[in-house]
Homo-oligomer: A and B are copies of this chain.
Amino acid sequence: MFKHVKDMEYTVHVDRPDPRFANLLLEQFGGPHGELKAAMQYMSQSLGCNDPKIRDLLQDIAAEEMSHLEMVGEAIAMLLGPTDKVAKDFPAIHMALLSGGPLLTNSMGIPWTGSYIESTGDIYADLSSDSTAELRAKLIYERLLQQTDDAGVKDMVRFLLSREESHNFSFMQAIGTLQGKGVDKDFRDSQFSKKYMNMSTGEGDFRGPWNQGNGIQYEENPNEKYGGPAKYGKDRGADASGEVAPGYTDHNRNNPQYSQPNPSQGKPQSPTTMH
């Protein structure tokens, strides 16, 4: 359950209205790297997650991001200032026209969308998505910092920027405890997972640790070796170039979702079977 406390997590001080910056700050209210995105991503991931430690981590940070959403929203409302009578060159005319306060859009007016959420049910993949999301959020705050000279607003932005770093660090630490689990299981165990296809050629072709060493095979024209026209027919013939052999099954290795609460734990009734 969520409880709301009237005081904010960190006090928001705004020197004076700055509608132009209010509009830019929408990016972190209803934008793809903003606070609602973070809150909803972690909350979605936590629902039904069976690893209680990770669940707690996700819930801690989800609740904090909700609190950041509130801070950013308050700052936007104050930066927008009174909108009862706005001049024709008011720099956030759209906000004045529609709401007089924060909109659930990015700074260009694009409505927030559930498409921003990465929640796959695989803890390893999800925490990786989360740590990366924090990097992008931090980056937007860094750029926003350049666009304001209001001391209080700078202080708030710097606070939020620091919190993203903190969250990134926590997620990275948690990933460290999950090596070899979920999507990280049996990683690079097949021939094609160790090849690098040089598909872009010409002046500017480079080699680096990403396409040499570490058992990487460098290939120039994969189509000549492995390709051809698409066709019906199950046999690739006797050649060994296919990724899987006859009778191949990867069922046990795959689909490393977190397990849901086990219905057989349900009490006091008898175990049920999934259909």
| Cβ < 8 Å to B, chain A residues 161-208 | 162-163, 165-166, 169-171, 173-174, 176-177, 183, 187-188, 190-206, 208
A76-91 to B contact mask, C-beta < 8 Å, 1/0: 1110111111101000
Cα of A191 to Cα of B121 in the assembled complex, Å:
33
Q: Complex: how many Å from CA A12 to CA B93?
A: 25
Measured CA separation A53–B207 after assembly (Å): 8
A255 touches B84 (CB 8 A): yes
Measured in the bound complex, the distance between the Cα atoms of B191 and A99 in whole Å is 28
Contacting pair A165 B152 (CB below 8 A)? no
The reply to whether A210 and B174 form a contact with Cβ atoms under 8 Å apart is: yes
Q: A5 — which chain B residues lie within 8 A by C-beta?
A: 1-3, 200-202, 223
- A60 surroundings in chain B (CB, below 8 A): 4, 196-200, 211
Q: Which of A48, A198, A224 counts the most chain B CB atoms within 10 A? A: A48
Contacts A80-B260, A132-B128; A64 near B199 (Cβ below 8 A): yes
Interface size, chain A (Cβ < 8 Å): 195
Whether A2 contacts B1 by the Cβ 8 Å rule is no
* Contact assessment for A44 and B88 in the assembled complex, using a CB-CB cutoff below 8 Å: no
How many identical subunits does the complex contain? 6
Q: Report the separation of the CA atoms of residues A56 and B206 in the bound assembly, to the nearest whole angstrom.
A: 6
Contact of A136 among B7, B15, B125 (CB under 8 A): B125
Contact of A104 among B44, B61, B171, B267 (CB under 8 A): B44
Q: Is the CB of A226 within 8 A of B9?
A: yes
Interface members, chain A 1-53 (any B CB < 8 Å): 1-17, 20, 24, 27, 30, 32, 36, 40, 43-45, 47-49, 52-53
Interface centre among A62, A104, A154, A216 (most CB of B within 10 A): A104
Nearest-CB distance from A236 to chain B (Å)? 6
Are B173's CB and A13's CB within 8 A? no
CB-CB nearest in chain B for A207 = B53
Please state if B119 and A232 are interface contacts (CB–CB under 8 Å). no
A175 to chain B, nearest CB (A): 9
Question: Would you give the shortest CB distance from A159 to chain B, in whole angstroms?
Answer: 4
Q: Could you list 17 A-B pairs, sorted by A, with CB under 8 Å? A: A3-B5, A4-B63, A10-B227, A14-B233, A16-B273, A36-B40, A52-B204, A53-B206, A82-B262, A99-B119, A104-B117, A115-B115, A125-B139, A135-B183, A139-B183, A166-B192, A174-B210
Known: A47-B77, A48-B77, A151-B244. 13 other contacts (CB 8 A): A7-B202, A9-B227, A11-B229, A48-B101, A57-B206, A77-B260, A78-B232, A94-B108, A100-B258, A104-B114, A154-B250, A165-B190, A170-B210
